[in-house]
Each structure stands twice: as C-alpha cells, then as structure tokens.
Amino acid sequence: MIFFKKMIYFLKPLFSVVLGLGLGLVITKIAGEDPWNVLQILLKSAFGSRYDIGMTLFYSIPLVFTGLSVALAFQAKLFNIGAEGQLAMGSIAAAAFGIYFPNIPFPVAPILASICAFLVGAVWGAIPGWLRARRGSHEVINTIMLNFIASGLTSWMTLYLFRNLDSQNPETKAVGAGYWMPHLKIFGESPVSFSIFIALFAAFCVWFFLWKTALGYEIRAVGQNESAARTVGIDSAKIRILVMAVAGGLSGLVATNEILAHAGRFRLGFSPGYGFMGIAVALLGRNKPGGVVLAALLFGALHKGTSDLDLETENVTRDLSQILQALIILCVSAEGLWSFLLESSFGFKKKKKSEIRTL
Amino acid sequence: MTPSVEFRGLSKAFHGNMANTDLSFKVRKGSVHAIIGENGAGKSTAMKILYGIYQPDEGEIYIEGKLWGGRQKPWSSSSDAILHGIGMVHQHFMLGGPHTVLDNILLGAEQAHWGWRWLPKALRPIDRDEARQRLESLSEQYGLKVAWDALVENLSVGVHQRIEILKLLYRDAKILILDEPTAVLTQQETNELFDHLRKLCHRGKTILMITHKLKEVMSIADRVTVFRAGKIVGEREIHKTYVEDLASLMVGRKVSLKAESPPQVVLQEPVLQVQGLSVKDFKLQEVSLQVRRGEVVGIAGVEGNGQAELLQVLLHPLEYQNRMKGVIEVVGKNIEGLNTRQIRDLGMGVIPDDRLRDALLTDRPAQENYILGLHREKPFCQAGLILDRQVEELTDQAMEEYDIRPRSRLLKADRFSGGNQQKLVIAREFFRSPKLLVIAQPTRGVDVGAIEFIHKKIFRARSEGSGILLISSELDEILALSDRILVMYTGKIIFEFNRGEVTEQALGLAMGGEARS
C-alpha cells in the first residue's frame, strides 16, 4: 500500500507533464502544424546532438538555482517571487568584482566572484525576509518591488558605471581572463561549464540542509506551523530572514553560469525570466531539491527545443515554449484532480480498508 | 403528542469507525432535552446530522411526525435545516466581530425594501428598520436584551450567546440546538442563559442541549439522553435521576466523583514562582503563585479568565517585557529577558491547550512531531545534525510506552485521533523529565480511555519529582489531580483551596467569582 502511494506520488507530476505536452501539441494541430513533426523537432533540437544537449543543460542550470531558491523559501511558507531580482543583483556583483579585480588568477577568481554573487543575492533576499519577520509586510509584495529596483539598479550600473564603450549593446566591460570557468568539452561548443556541478552541489546541500540538520528541521517546522514552532522556542523571525537570505544567495549563483562561463560580462536583459520560471520549476518539482533538478531539466529542454521552431515550421514559433510551460503548470495545479481520479478508479477500496486498520 | 424530534435508528461512520450507532430517541415539544456524554461520545455528530451538516449512513429523523431526512430523503445543508425550523448555536460562536449586532443577526437572512423587489436579489438594499422592529418584538417577548447597534467585538461572550439565540429566533427556528452553551460562560451568565431557555420553552420552542456538565443538566433539563461511544446507553427523566447515576451511565462503570489521590510526595524546592504578575491591557492582574516539586497545582476557572494569557507570559516573556510587572522564577531563575528556548532549557515542559495550533505539525509524520522542541537535544541531534536512527528508535519506544495507536511513526499527525495526538505531545514533553510542567486542558477532545492514561502519567511525573501547573476548565479534572487549587477569575487569583477542602459545587461557584461553601 505504501509502495502504491509512493508510486502515485512520483507518477502524478509525470502525468501532468505528459498531459500538458499533449495539450500543447493539440494546439499546434489547431495552428495548422503536424503535431508529430513538432514533437520531433522539439526532441531533436533539445537532445539531437552533443551541442544541443549542452545548450539544454546550459538553460537548465539557472533554473536549478532559481528553482532551489523558490523551493527553499517555500519550505518556510515564504513565497519568493524575487528570484529574478536576486539573480540580477548577484550577476552584476560578480561582474563588478571581475571588473574591479581583473588580475586575480584562475582558481581563486571564480570562487571569489561566486561568493560575491551569493552574498549580494543573499542581501537582496534578506531585505524582504527582514521586512516580513520584523515589520510584517508581506514578502510577495516586497520581492516583486525589489525585482523592479534590481532591474533599475543593474541598468544604471551597466550603463553608467561599467559600460563597455566598444559595443553597441547595453553591457558591461569584460571580467578578467582568470574568471572563466572551464567548459565541459564533451558538449562541443556549448557554454556548459563547471557551473553545472555547482548547481548539483547546491541541490544536494539544500536537501541535506533541509532534511538532515536541526536548522533545516526548524525551517520546515516554521513553514508547517509557526505557532507550534514558537511554542517550543523556535525563533521564526530569525528563521525567515535566514531562509530568504539563503534563497537570494542561491538565485545569485546564476552568475556562475552566465557571467563566469558564458558572457564574461553582465548583459542587460540576459535572463529570459529565469527567476519566474523558477517558480514553475519549484512547483513542478514539489519544492524538493531532486524534483527541482528534474523539473529544471525539463524546462531547459523546452526552452532549447522550441528555439528551432521559428526556422523549421511555418505556423508556430518559439513562443510555444511558454504555452507548453503554462499548460504543464496548469496540469500540475490540477493535481488534486488526478489523485482523485486515480484513487477513485482503482485505489479507493484498498484505501478504506487500511484506514479502518489504522483507526 | 407527536414528538418534536425523533431519531430512528440513525448511524454514521467516519472512515470506518462508527461515530453513531443505531440512535433512537424522542424529544418532547417545549422541553429542554439534554444530550450528555464524554468527549467523543458522538453527541456533536448526532446534532450535526440533525442540523444537516452530515448525512447519516442509515436511519431517519422525523420532525413533528414528518420525515425530515434519512436514507430515502437525504437533506442537504444547514440552510435546509433552518428552513425547517432547526437552528444550531455552535460551541464557538460564528459572529463577525467588526459588525453591528443587527447586521450579524441579519447576515444570510436579509430582507429587502419592498420597493426594490425588481433588483436582482444580491443587489437589493437591506431593510434594517423592519428587521429592527421585528427583533424588538422578539426580544421583548423572550426577554433577550441586546444593543442592536453595538459592535460585536465589544460585547462579552454572554451577550454573544444571546445574539446567536436571537439569530435563530429571527429565522423562526422552532428547535434550537445548543452545543456546549456554557463552556465559556461564568456562573452568572449561565444562570441568565438558563432563565432565557426556560422562557423559550414556555413559548413552545424545543431545546436540545449538548453538554458534559451534569450539574447543569440537573438544573435545566427536563429529560436527558446519555451517549457513550456513539451509542445511547440510557434515557432519564430529570426528576427521577441524580448526578452519580448519570455519571456512571456516561463513563460506563461506577464512578466515585472523588478521585483517589496517590500518596503525597514530600514537598521540595519551588520550581515556579510568580510574584505580583500584571500585564497591561492583558487579562493578568497581580497574579502570585508557587509550584513546588512533587505537587500538582491546579488553576481552575472558566475559560477566558486569564489562564491562556498566563501560559503565554510564562512561555514568551520577551514579548510582554514592556508592559509586564512582577517577577517570574522558573527553577529558581528569573526568566526576565530569556527567550522561549532558554526558558524551556531551564527544565520547563509545556502542553498547550490547543494542540493542533500550538503543539503539532499536523501534516508531518509522528516522528517529526515527536522531536519538535527536542530537535536540538542530545540523543536526537549531534553537531547540528539530526540523527535519523535515534529519532526512529526513540519514537518507536515512546509510541510503545505511551500506547500511541496506530504504532506508525510515519503516519501524519492529523491522522491520529485526538487522544493519541495528545499522548504524542505528552510523550515529547515528558521526555526530558522537566522539573516544571505546565499543562493546559490536557484531556480536551480526548477519549475516555486516554483521559485515564493521561491522568496516570501526570501523577507519575509528579511522583518522579516534577512540579506541575495544571490549567483546566474541567472541574472534575482539577479536583482529581490537584494538590492545591487556585481559582482564576477576570485575571486574578481569587481563591486557594487544598485538596479535599472544596466541593465541586463550591468550586463551580468560586469560578463564577462567588464565595460560598
């Protein structure tokens, strides 16, 4: 019985994904394409070659960071809508660090820049955390506001402090040569770098932190029932600030993928909304680190897969990616419905019996 | 005469355990009919079926001879019930604080100005004047006086109750169900309520009253039906019965209302000392008390007289720092400026009155609940890491020792029954053998078997040298467990009794602020 329940638990998100994709393909049919063809293009574009797989991974890495950020905050019942601003602040910080100290040699330079990105992201996350814990103003509002502030602030810094005068694009000067993370050669020309290991390590750390440490237990307790946590002496205000700071730091680590491995500089608008996609990733991944990694891979693949649709089809464009994401999220949100259907169709009688036993 | 309400063979199960089995009884028109039984005996379920909140699995209910519902003719909702003249006052009043009395009464039964009939229903303006007139006449008829324009949040619970009753009268209810109507009332308010109820009966209303206070049954009811474990175990006319008879029916064995007290332990040093504790804008005034190791000090009182506040101040003195006067010492140490964890680490265990709100992570497995508050303690935690194997082993042990059923440490807390949840909390708080135990309403919503078990555990903690502060609004519990009884009333401690010095009746009076022996 427990095995059965576990299976449903893992099958449900998968089911939502398949259903969401199916609905998406129906839409391509309505748009006048052959869904089968579209699906093939998607798969080929996402996984067709080493380079394609590399690009898929490259898009997935930032989603792992932002997904972890949202998921961690959610374990303490905090809604971190501010990953977008946090990753921007972390990235500009890493870039600025690289511009100010261009001569630091290789292994030290990216490490320091990553720490810098984490810390600045953490500050950006801790602000709404502090406001919530000490002043009671809701973190959803404050994180959204801080996204705008971060956007303005990074624009100003890019255009007025660190502007690359040799380029037409709104971007900063380049970081020093020692800052580049080694790329993974097996993925060809794609910019997948050592950052992928940082992302996986971060996922492991979040898991360990939440489920194996006393502090992680306190975070989950505050998220579950703040009043009970308070009664046994857990300081929920401190926990909230801490969680939001770590969440912000995780978002800030997006810099390892973008600044330190791909662009070597801060380019305005480099994020296609990684922070907001992180919310979807966390939702699909059930706010668990392992789930977040898998969900990030899926969304990365969707992002990469749809990028070739512009060229290869007549009637659908890469915007299909957003439609698919939205449909998957809708299906995930309707999960209550799936469990109801599954249980009423072939699990219900068994369940009743076991309940009698427990009572 | 046809009975006002008749249950015929009513049964109801939740998830396979029977809440009500084959209930059959009749209620005379114009009488006060009491439904008594221990917590979890199925009283509330039966009344909620009558009120249309639950559907029965079997059986029928007849209202004045007509089938009101049953398997053949299921009724749907409480709004159906009110149309049929059945009204219910819930234990927790359902009133909107920042609105006037008048609006609270009208909510859901608003009448529109005649001239606005052409508008869709939701948009019609409310005719408050007509409603006011009708209510005036109702209140005169039944002697229920309320200020119509006062805000509900500014009124006392006694008045809230009156408003709830008026709400039902306004809707022409003929049958009034009252769920534990006196739980939050003082003695005086209770007496007033009973006067009103008698008036209502004289004018032909039928009243069904759920309670577990036998004294009150004897003073107000005409007839009483006794529930035990979901079944009816007896019915009595009030003038042919007496308290002990009802008590043994309720519990199912002979009960002596006097509890056997285990041998007194030699009293040792105080573990809790409160001196002149007052909190501004909070119910506490000049509270002084002392708990020594090896004794149970009971705080009796109607709920809402400062007991909950006392517990809050003991746990979170930092939050009241600025408006608090007086000294609190736990295990000989002044707790001023200490946070909750530091106070608990001095050797204080707390069992809060509302376990779902303050003691459990309802959506997490039992083992995670067991370590809540112990999660930084030695066998469970080392160098900031939680040791899963220790947690599992010790949770299993605790479930065995405290007979927590089912023995499944992975089951979520809200899947356990109230009694087992409470045992889990008790197991956790007793784990550290605290020197001071503050226990609030330990047997609320707990089944009979568990009550006895919990009481035994409390006595054992006492004989092992814990000092226990017991906060309870159950007279029986206070009398059975306490070596000393303090009576709290409007935030003050107004009486102190030693074990055996006070009768249940005198204590009841004292809780209402009156001294008489």
Both tokens of A301, joined, read 């693949």
What distance in Å separates the CA atoms of residue B246 and residue B217, rounded to the nearest whole number? Answer: 10
Note the pLDDT of residue A196: 92
Q: Does B99 touch chain A (CB under 8 A)?
A: no
Sheet architecture: strand order including B32-36: B86-89, B175-179, B206-211, B32-36, B223-228, B231-237
Partner residue opposite A355 with nearest CB, options B15, B315, B408: B15
Both tokens of B404, joined, read 């927590």
Q: Residue B60 in 3-state DSSP? A: strand
Look at residues B393, B392, B376 and name the one whose alpha carbon lies nearest to residue B432: B376
A141-164 pLDDT tens trace:
999 999 999 999 999 999 998 888
| Contact assignment for A228 to B360 by CB distance below 8 Å | yes
| Contact assignment for B340 to A217 by CB distance below 8 Å | no
Note the pLDDT of residue B403: 85
To the nearest whole Å, the CA of B315 is away from the closest chain A CA by 7
**Residue ranges of the alpha helices (H) in A225-288?**
226-231, 236-252, 254-258, 274-284
Partner residue opposite A233 with nearest CB, options B340, B388, B417: B340
- Provide DSSP, A112-172: HHHHHHHHHHHHHHHHHHHIIIII---HHHHHHHHHHHHHHHHHHIIIIISB-TT-SSSBB
Q: By the 8 A CB rule, do B161 and B183 touch?
A: no
| Contact assignment for B16 to A231 by CB distance below 8 Å | no
pLDDT bucket at B91, cuts 50 / 70 / 90: confident
Note the pLDDT of residue B464: 86
What distance in Å separates the CA atoms of residue B358 and residue A219, rounded to the nearest whole number? Answer: 16
Note the pLDDT of residue A350: 41
Note the pLDDT of residue B514: 67
List the domain range (segments joined by +) for residue A263.
50-308
Domain definitions of chain B by residue range: 1-85+174-257, 97-173, 270-347+432-511
Give Cα separations from A313 to A20, A25, A137, A309 (angstroms): 21, 14, 48, 6
Q: Which residues contact A214 (CB under 8 A, 6 or more apart)?
A: B375, B376, B381, B384, B385, B386
Report the top-level CATH class of B270-347+432-511: alpha beta
Partner residue opposite A228 with nearest CB, options B16, B372, B384: B372
| Contact assignment for A214 to B375 by CB distance below 8 Å | yes
Look at residue A356 and tell me whether its pLDDT is greater than 60. no
What distance in Å separates the CA atoms of residue B289 and residue A121, rounded to the nearest whole number? Answer: 51
Any domain includes A19? no
Interface mutation target, options B319, B340, B408, chain A, most CBs of A under 10 Å: B340
Both tokens of A328, joined, read 């998957």
Chain A residues whose beta carbon lies within 8 Å of the beta carbon of residue B338: none
Distance of CA A101 to the CA centre of its chain: 29
| Contact assignment for B385 to A231 by CB distance below 8 Å | no
Give Cα separations from A285 to A200, B224, B364 (angstroms): 15, 56, 19
Nearest CA in chain A to B360: A228
What distance in Å separates the CA atoms of residue B75 and residue B50, rounded to the nearest whole number? Answer: 9
Mean pLDDT of A278-305: 91
What distance in Å separates the CA atoms of residue B434 and residue B430, rounded to the nearest whole number? Answer: 7
Chain B residues whose beta carbon lies within 8 Å of the beta carbon of residue A358: 406, 408, 411, 415
What distance in Å separates the CA atoms of residue B6 and residue B3, rounded to the nearest whole number? Answer: 6
A171-198 pLDDT tens trace:
888 888 888 888 888 888 888 888 999 9
Tell me the residue ranges of DSSP E strands in B15-137.
17-27, 32-36, 58-63, 66-70, 86-89
Give the number of domains in chain A.
1
* B1-85+174-257 and B270-347+432-511, same CATH topology: yes
B415-471 pLDDT tens trace:
887 788 889 999 999 998 899 999 998 887 776 667 888 888 898 888 888 899 999
Q: By the 8 A CB rule, do B29 and B42 touch?
A: no
To the nearest whole Å, the CA of A36 is away from the closest chain B CA by 43
| Contact assignment for B357 to A228 by CB distance below 8 Å | yes
Any domain includes A25? no
B102-155 pLDDT tens trace:
888 887 777 777 777 777 777 777 777 888 888 888 888 777 778 888 888 777
Q: Does B360 touch chain A (CB under 8 A)?
A: yes
Note the pLDDT of residue B254: 64
What region, left, alpha or beta, does residue A286 occupy, with left being phi > 0 and alpha being psi -120 to 50 degrees?
Answer: left
The residue behind tokens 């002392």 is B290
Look at residues B233, B206, B222, B215 and name the one whose alpha carbon lies nearest to residue B25: B233
pLDDT bucket at B76, cuts 50 / 70 / 90: low
Q: What share of chain B is helix, strand, coil (3-state, %, to 5)?
A: 35, 25, 40
State the fold for domain B1-85+174-257.
Answer: Rossmann fold (3.40.50)
To the nearest whole Å, the CA of B329 is away from the closest chain A CA by 18
Partner residue opposite A228 with nearest CB, options B343, B359, B388: B359
- pTM for the model stands at 0.76
Average pLDDT for chain A = 87
Partner residue opposite B360 with nearest CB, options A217, A225, A359: A225
To the nearest whole Å, the CA of A290 is away from the closest chain B CA by 19
Chain A residues whose beta carbon lies within 8 Å of the beta carbon of residue B406: 357-359
Q: By the 8 A CB rule, do A111 and A178 touch?
A: no
Looking at per-residue confidence, does B296 or B55 come out higher? B296
Tell me, what amino acid is at A184?
L
Q: Does B32 touch chain A (CB under 8 A)?
A: no
Note the pLDDT of residue A332: 80
Angle (CA) B495 B499 B500, round 5°? 100
Note the pLDDT of residue B152: 81
Chain B residues whose beta carbon lies within 8 Å of the beta carbon of residue A225: 357, 360-362
- Which residues numbered 367-386 in B keep a CB inside 8 Å of some CB on A? 368, 371-373, 375-376, 381, 384-386
For B186-221, letters b (16+ CB in 10 Å) and e give bbebbebbbebbeebbeeebbbbbbbbbbebbbebb
What distance in Å separates the CA atoms of residue B67 and residue A192, rounded to the nearest whole number? Answer: 74
Look at residues A121, A109, A82 and name the one whose alpha carbon lies nearest to residue A275: A82
Environment class of residue B265 by beta-carbon count within 10 Å: exposed (0-12), middle (13-18) or buried (19+)? middle
Q: Which of the residue ranges A91-105, B72-86, B377-391 would you say has the lowest mean pLDDT?
A: B72-86
ipTM above 0.85, yes or no: no
Any domain includes A38? no
**Residue ranges of the alpha helices (H) in chain A?**
2-31, 35-47, 50-75, 83-100, 108-130, 139-156, 195-212, 214-224, 226-231, 236-252, 254-258, 274-284, 289-305, 309-312, 320-333, 335-342, 348-358
Mean pLDDT of B2-14: 82
Mean pLDDT of B340-369: 90
For A2-31, letters b (16+ CB in 10 Å) and e give eeeeeeeeeebbebbbebbbebbbebbeeb
Chain A residues whose beta carbon lies within 8 Å of the beta carbon of residue B344: 232-233
Q: Does B344 touch chain A (CB under 8 A)?
A: yes
Say if strands B223-228 and B32-36 run parallel, antiparallel, or are unpaired: parallel
Partner residue opposite A213 with nearest CB, options B357, B384, B408: B384
Look at residue B375 and tell me whether its pLDDT is greater than 50. yes
Note the pLDDT of residue B253: 67
Look at residue A327 and tell me whether its pLDDT is greater than 80. yes
Note the pLDDT of residue A353: 37
B13-57 pLDDT tens trace:
876 677 888 888 888 888 889 888 876 678 888 888 888 888 788
Note the pLDDT of residue B257: 47
Say if strands B484-489 and B296-300 run parallel, antiparallel, or are unpaired: parallel
Chain A residues whose beta carbon lies within 8 Å of the beta carbon of residue B339: 233, 235
What distance in Å separates the CA atoms of residue B308 and residue B311, rounded to the nearest whole number? Answer: 5
Look at residues B404, B465, B384, A222 and name the one whose alpha carbon lies nearest to residue B394: B404
Note the pLDDT of residue B294: 86
Look at residue B9 and tell me whether its pLDDT is greater than 90. no
A217-251 pLDDT tens trace:
999 999 999 999 999 999 999 999 999 999 999 99
Give Cα separations from B360 to A224, B367, B423 (angstroms): 9, 11, 12
CATH number for the domain spanning A172: value is 1.10.3470
Look at residues A250, A219, A198 and name the one whose alpha carbon lies nearest to residue A66: A250
Interface mutation target, options A217, A220, A286, A351, chain B, most CBs of B under 10 Å: A217
Partner residue opposite B384 with nearest CB, options A215, A224, A225: A215
Any domain includes A56? yes
Looking at per-residue confidence, does B378 or A345 come out higher? B378
Q: Does B317 touch chain A (CB under 8 A)?
A: no
What is the CB-side half-sphere exposure of residue A207 using CA atoms within 13 A? Answer: 15
B456-506 pLDDT tens trace:
889 888 888 889 999 987 787 888 889 899 998 888 888 888 888 888 778
Both tokens of A104, joined, read 């630091």
Any domain includes A359? no
Nearest CA in chain B to A231: B358
